[in-house]
Amino acid sequence: MTQAFNMADLSTALPEVVLSLVAMVILMLDFIVPKGRRDWLGYLSVLGVLLTLMVLCRQWGATQSAFSGQYLIDPFALFFKILFLASGGLIILMSIGYLRGEGADSGEFYALILFATLGMMLMASAVDLLILYIGLETMSICIYVLAGFLKRERRSNEAALKYLLMGGFSSAIILYGIVMLYGLTGATGLKEIASTLTADTLSNPALILAMVMLAAGFGFKIAAVPFHMYIPDVYEGAPTPITALLAAASEIAGLVILLRVFLVAIPGLQDRWALLFYVLSLLTMTVGNVVAIAQSNIKRMLAYSSIAHIGYLLIGVVAGRELGISATLLYTVVYALMTLGAFAMVILLCVGEVKGERIDDFAGLAQRSPMAAAAMLILLLSLAGVPPTAGFVGKLYLFGAAIERGYILLALIAVVNSAISLFYYMKVAVAMYMRDLPPAGLALSPSRPLRVVLFVTVVGTLAIGIYPGPFLDLAKSSIAGLW
């Protein structure tokens, strides 16, 4: 029961140890490196992320539980850890030029992104409600600070405060759910919880209440409707790389713990929670897509579009089984790639006074920079789900899983929603290709790291779209033995 600390346990958490050490080194170097040259800390952080990835890849295919069974390395955790580290690295690359433009370059920004990534990695490996919650808080506290990093911007202050309040609120709801589960079963380990719940305790109203509380709390974290009201303001006000972090990484981390808790701890209630997520998914994609049409600020539009994509992701959770969950895993990669790419484009358009936040700022982009316009077009087509992009493949598997499991209506509504989304994504494309360049338009000068981000996301989007086989196989093998 109470075993002492040993090195074997530590080696399972080696990637996390390396990442936190890198973050602390960045914090210390921040004192030495003079202001104006702190780009180097950004590059160093990316190196640290690559190092962590290398250490992580030694766990390929391994399944091992550690730290009194609270921590588990398995293919599922590994899949998401790689995704989080890759997203974290790309976000740091985006930030380098952005922070220089805002005159706010500092090592703390990179260190906090690394710590947020650490929190997500812990969430991916957590098989105990205690660690799961602590990982969630590690990530959230970093993002509260990062959202308010531009202290002189009122919108950034507002974003930080709103996210702090709603984040604290939703954490409290998750804690209520955890406490009720613990009170019912006397266990915090997900497997132990599942093994104490027998057929006659499964219909206990207290258990249902705990399930609803957990679903609502996770709903806030993944920005599902009706728990989404703070999302547009936070996305608009936060520094753009942090908006990307929120959309592409933090929401997926929320989805990971949602999958773990519902699939491992309370699989006996699948009928009930599938119904719950059915309604959430339907509301989320419909509200997200319909409200996105009316937006004129690109960050707000992408915020609503990310809400809609969370709705699509939930379809896989509803469908369940190997087919649905592997489709969800595949779509998280697709979603992360195209969202990161889209926000990188928003940063690219931050030249001079133009902040690249109105959709009008995209007018005539094809004349200013044909390459950038083409990249944005590919990302938009993927977001809308048009072949031959990754968005199409991802949706194909998600909707296919829904149909296979008999959720025909849900799949139909999702298809209608995709058609609606095409309308507002194409609004940006029309602005880029059909409208004239405003006279004030300057030449674009993307920084080198930003070019890398755009290249990786666009190529990734096309690669998964054209040749999805290996990615789908990876997603399928990652969920083996999950429940």
Binding site for another protein (CB under 8 A): 1-5, 13, 20, 24, 27, 67-68, 70-71, 104, 106, 108, 111-112, 115, 118, 122, 130-131, 134-135, 137-138, 141-142, 144-145, 148-149, 151-152, 160, 180, 183-187, 192, 196-197, 200-201, 204-209
Nearer CB in complex with another protein: 24/294: 24
Taking the complex as a whole, the smallest distance from the CB of residue 448 to another protein amounts, in Å, to 27
Per the CB < 8 A criterion, the answer to whether 380 and 387 are in contact is no
* Cβ distance to another protein smaller for residue 169 or 423: 169
Q: Which is nearer to another protein, 28 or 466 (CB)?
A: 28
Q: Is the CB of 184 or the CB of 474 nearer to another protein?
A: 184
Nearer of residues 104 and 459 to another protein, judged by Cβ: 104
Q: 195 or 296, CB closer to another protein?
A: 195
Buried b (16+ CB within 10 A) or exposed e, 43-68: ebbbebbeebbebbeebeeeeebbbe
Nearest approach in angstroms of CB 95 to another protein is: 14
Alpha-carbon distance of 92 to 23, in angstroms, equals: 12
- Dmax (CA) for the chain in angstroms is 72
- Least separation in angstroms between residue 42's CB and another protein is 16
Least distance between another protein and beta carbon 188 (Å): 10
Residue 277 tokens read as 């997520």
Determine contact, residues 78/59, Cβ cutoff 8 Å. yes
Closest CA to 274 of 310, 225, 222, 324: 324
Nearer to another protein, 106 or 297 (CB): 106
Q: C-beta of 48: minimal distance to another protein in Å?
A: 15
Distances (CA, A) of 348 to 234, 371, 373, 443, 452: 20, 12, 11, 11, 12
Buried b (16+ CB within 10 A) or exposed e, 249-264: bbbbbbbbbbbbbbbb
Q: Which is nearer to another protein, 149 or 471 (CB)?
A: 149
Contact criterion met (CB below 8 Å) for 70 and 126: yes
- Residue closer to another protein, measured from CB, 148 or 446: 148
How far is it, in rounded angstroms, from Cα 179 to Cα 188? 9
Q: Name the nearest CA neighbour of 42 among 91, 102, 81.
A: 91
Q: Between 408-434 and 298-319, two packed helices, what is the crossing angle to 10 degrees? A: 160
What's the one-letter identity of residue 13? A
Which residue reads 């808790």 in tokens? 261
| Amino acid letter, 232 | P
In sequence order, what are the residues at sequence separation of 6 or more whose Cβ sits closer than 8 angstroms to the Cβ of residue 448? Answer: none
Q: How far apart are CA 250 and CA 221, in angstroms?
A: 8
Cα–Cα distance for residue pair 19/378, rounded to 1 Å:
33
For another protein, the closer of residues 114 and 336 by Cβ is 114
Q: How far is the CB of 57 from another protein (least distance, A)?
A: 22
Considering the complex, what minimum distance in angstroms separates the CB of residue 131 from another protein? 6
Of 166 and 307, the one with the shorter C-beta distance to another protein is 166
Asked if residue 92 lies in contact with residue 42, where contact means CB atoms within 8 angstroms, the answer is yes
Q: Are 214 and 224 in contact (CB under 8 A)?
A: no
The total of other beta-carbon atoms located within 10 Å of residue 110's CB is 31
In whole angstroms, the minimum distance from the beta carbon of 12 to another protein comes to: 10
Min dist CB 119 to another protein, Å, is 8
In angstroms, what is the minimal distance from the CB of 340 to another protein?
23
Least CB distance to another protein at residue 50 (A): 21
Please name every residue paired with 351 in a beta bridge, in sequence order, or none if there are none. Answer: 354
Min dist CB 417 to another protein, Å, is: 31
DSSP string, 464-481: HHH--HHHHHHHHHHTTT
Q: Which is nearer to another protein, 82 or 139 (CB)?
A: 139
